[in-house]
Chains A and B, each alone.
Chain A
Amino acid sequence: AQSVTQLDSQVPVFEEAPVELRCNYSSSVSVYLFWYVQYPNQGLQLLLKYLSGSTLVKGINGFEAEFNKSQTSFHLRKPSVHISDTAEYFCAVLINTNAGKSTFGDGTTLTVKP
């Protein structure tokens, strides 16, 4: 079975500072990787995904993530955050044979302070 660990439950950061949200996974087979953002009382919105190809993927809102197979990591980064980036962020893995059933991390609360 696969699992996802988001290493930081809360990340406070000042506006315009860089941020990294860490995600590690474990799986015995190849996986697809995703980052989602959730604003209060809303569903999840896809930020970016890694399916294959280049290990550096760029997403919406200036976010990017790098897939590191040897370290089984998929950390999310943004060089300069805004107040509006304050939200909950979830890392997820999907096994191709699992009919779309993803496994989610526990989430990281990003709080951007002015």
Chain B
Amino acid sequence: GAVVSQHPSWVICKSGTSVKIECRSLDFQATTMFWYRQFPKQSLMLMATSNEGSKATYEQGVEKDKFLINHASLTLSTLTVTSAHPEDSSFYICSAPTSSNEQYFGPGTRLTVT
């Protein structure tokens, strides 16, 4: 089946620095990818839709200048958390839909900002 990978799986960074998270579709092409944020014991909150070759679409309340998304190829989307603060600590998950209306999720990235 389709596989989506994320890198890194976990990262610790200092407050004020930026962190980049990669999401790759390994055996299929994804013109669209989704980025989610998940707080402990909560559901997934959609942050933005990443579109290959065009600007990302952000959900209401998500700061596009803080969460930079780039979808440079049909298999790679990146999320950069700029000037990270402790409140940005969370579990970030990406997903990619297939033509058969399924979504394949990455394993997630645990971000801890100290």
The interface of chain A, by Cβ under 8 A from chain B, is 32, 34, 36, 41-46, 49, 51, 90, 94, 96, 99-102, 104-107, 109
Contact = CB atoms under 8 A, between A and B. Distances in A.
B101 A96 contact: yes
Interface stretch (B12-20, B66-74, B75-83, B104-112): B104-112
B108 A41 contact: yes
B11 to A, nearest CB: 13
B44 interface: yes
Interface residues of B, number: 24
Contacts of B42: 106-107
Contact of B101 (A44, A94, A106): A94
Nearest to B94: A43
A41 B110 contact: yes
29 contacts: A32-B101, A34-B103, A43-B6, A43-B93, A43-B105, A43-B107, A43-B108, A44-B44, A44-B95, A44-B105, A46-B102, A49-B102, A51-B100, A51-B101, A90-B43, A90-B44, A94-B103, A99-B32, A99-B97, A100-B34, A100-B101, A100-B103, A101-B46, A101-B49, A102-B103, A104-B43, A104-B44, A107-B43, A109-B41
Contacts of B41: 109
Contacts of A51: 100-101
B52 to A, nearest CB: 12
Contacts of A90: 43-44
Residue among A32, A43, A44, A99 with the highest chain B CB neighbour number at 10 A: A43
A53 to B, nearest CB: 13
Contacts of A105: 43
A25 B34 CA distance: 22
Contact of B32 (A96, A100, A104): A100
Nearest to A4: B43
A32 B100 CA distance: 11
A99 B44 contact: no
Given A32-B101, A100-B34, A102-B103, A42 B44 contact: no
